[in-house]
Structure 1
Amino acid sequence: MGVSRNRTRALLIVAAIAAGTVAAATPAGATWTVAPMCGEWRVETVAQGLEQLENLEPDDNGGFYLSGESKIYHVDAAGQVRTVLDDMAAPGGLQLDGSRLSFLTRQDGKLWHLDTSTDQLSAPVDFAGNGLLRLPDGDLLTTWVGTEGGPPKGVSRYLHDSGAVVPNWSTVPRSEGLALSPDHRAVYTDDLFTGQIIRVPLDTPDAWTVVATVPSLIPGLDDLTMSQDGMLYAAAHVEGSIYRVHPETGTSCVVASGLSNGWNGPSSVRIGQDGDGWALYVTGFDGTLRRLVPPSGVELAPVR
């Protein structure tokens, strides 16, 4: 697909331009700080052999919805995979609200809603983006870093009451993933090219600030999620790692590394059920869904 080729080129050139971009975007005097080790996380394979996976969303029953190159899958708690939709134009971000699964198609810039109880698919609306986040008021945010074609568009907002779109709602220069803060007062996003993590206040979206920079020359941050205790977990696509980042101090550590790298690295990360507890779940462009089980003592629960 044209979208995939554009994204391939963008990820591959991250390594070539990262050093100069980071130097230009990082405030003078800023330093990278690495926190103590994250502890021993166990990495398990949940499903593999799927299309290049872009995003995932927990179903609140121990399973997940996954977006591939042209398909949307469902993986149940036992790891059984079924195709929910096929022949879609490069599905991207996913968000589930009850039985309503909202998702984007990146190739044609559309927002769709699927009733997962009836398999009824709504008529699409124009809402071009990649990452997707549902806010507590029902509005949706999306990102457009520019790797899918066209210039970066920061963060845009879809107003669910009117169906109107507020383009470039927050003028973040580049934006990939989206995560809601535990107090519901801000969202966090990441920069594919610089490794920066950015906080965007919901009431003043243009007053965004850089809160951390992942300590790697070419991480290629692709997505992130947040736990209820205020920790961010970020997928470093190019490096093949998952970072834990403390947004208040800017410190970070590596939860897992070697999860494929380069083009095949991790593309999305979410907190989901693991029996009676919680784990991180990670999609990759290698077509694999992985479970990262935390060591004892790590508080891991999703933002509600």
Structure 2
Amino acid sequence: MSAVMATPAHGSSFAADCGDWQVETVAQGLEQLENLEPDAEGGFYLAGDSKVYHVDADGRVNTVVENLAAPGGLQLDGSDLYFLTRQDGKLWQLDTETGQLVDRGPLGGNGLLRLPDGDLLTTWVGTEGGPPMGVTRYRSESGYVESNWSPVPRGEGLASSPDGRFVYTDDLFTGQIYRLPLDDPAHWAVVTRIPGVLPGADDLTMSRAGILYVAAHIEGAIYSVDPESGATCVVASGLSNGWQGPSSVRIGRAGDGWALYVTSFDGTLRRIEPPTGVDLMPIADYG
């Protein structure tokens, strides 16, 4: 079945900023950070060059696993942390209570998303060897790997829609945001594009209000994106641009409210708190 490309259904627009968001450092001096995942207790798991870290709600950092071959996407299911290692193309399952680490088999990828049925979606943009592989689905019961389950040109991050009907991914090279229906993943569409020559759209997450937040790695910025209208604006900029820029973004607890948390290749975890009136509640009420 051939893929169907579409221009944004509602056009697109751009605003220079999204209001007064406040940026602060949570942890720094770590390895090059690739990804993060909330821990349901106000902290996060982080993927470094060769380690998986845990940062608790008070900013204390501990190494959970080390001597890994470039860990990437992370997903937590209860006490089980699933993560990919990009250099050897494996999926791992870590019991965060006992420390038991299990090799679940071959599964290369950058982004990682767990679906409600337990299956995993991954992306492979191709910058670390081999051709792009769109979005791949890992069938958890059988271990079967369905490459190019959704044949988008390239994918990096992965985020689910609030109703669970769609998955969004972003293109590192074009800045395009793709939406693919879970029940018909071959028929994906372009909903908008991050502005700029090469923003380097690296990862994304979605709020319960249906707004995407996208880490623009090369530009060193975080964007807010409305996938329905195509409108974008800048949440924060100047976050270690170029190769050192932001690599992943998630929503997590900040006191009684919510904030964006951002990893960067400069080894820093940052918190970005929204101005009054922004509905930043995550789809899953974790932390």
TM-score interval for Structure 1 and Structure 2 normalised by the shorter chain: over 0.9
Query: Structure 1, residues 100-137: CA drift from partner, whole Å, max 9, x if none?
Result: 00000000000000000100001231111110000111
Distance in 2 between the 1:117 and 1:250 partners?
42
Structure 1 residue identity aligned to 2:191: V
Amino acid at match of 2:67: D
Instruction: Report the secondary structure of 1:123's partner residue.
Output: strand
Q: Does 1:271 align with 2:245?
A: no
The offset of 1:301, in angstroms, is: 1.2
CA–CA separation in structure 2 for the residues paired with 1:104 and 1:36: 35
Partner of 1:49, secondary structure, is coil
Q: Does 1:33 align with 2:29?
A: no
Report the equivalent of 1:22.
none
Instruction: Tell whether 2:57 aligns with 1:77.
Output: yes
Q: Are residues 1:191 and 2:171 paired? A: yes
Q: Pick one of 125, 132, 150 that aligns with 1:152.
A: 132
Give how far 1:46 is off: 0.1
Match of 2:146 among 166, 177, 185: 166
Structure 2 residues without counterparts, runs of 5 or longer: none
Amino acid at match of 1:141: L
CA 1:49/1:36 → structure 2, altered by over 3 Å: closer, same or farther? closer
Aligned equivalents of 2:143 and 2:7: distance in 1?
A: 38
Q: CA RMSD in A?
A: 1.6
TM-score for both structures, normalised by structure 2: 0.95
State the 1:31 CA deviation: 6.5
Separation in structure 2 between the aligned mates of residue 231 and residue 145 of structure 1, nearest angstrom: 23
For 2:87 and 2:131, how far apart are their aligned partners in 1?
Answer: 15
Alignment partner of 1:182 is 2:162: yes
Q: For residue 35 of structure 1, report the CA deviation from its aligned partner.
A: 4.1
Paired position in structure 2 for 1:128 = 108
Report the AA paired with residue 275 of structure 1.
G
Deviations 1:143-170 (A, max 9, x none): 0010110000000001111111111100
Answer yes or no: is the 8 Å Cα contact 2:218–2:245 preserved in 1. yes
| Count of residues in correspondence between the two structures | 280
Corresponding letter in the other structure for 1:223: D
The structure with the greater share of residues assigned to helix is: 1
Give, in whole Å, the separation in 1 of the partners of 2:240 and 2:103. Answer: 37
| Superposition deviation, residue 208 in structure 1 | 0.2
Letter in 2 for 1:180: S
TM-score, with length taken from structure 1? 0.89
Structure 2: distance between partners of 1:38 and 1:124:
41
The aligned residue for residue 56 of structure 1 is 36
The alpha-carbon deviation at position 237 of structure 1 amounts to 0.2
Q: CA deviation at 1:37?
A: 3.6
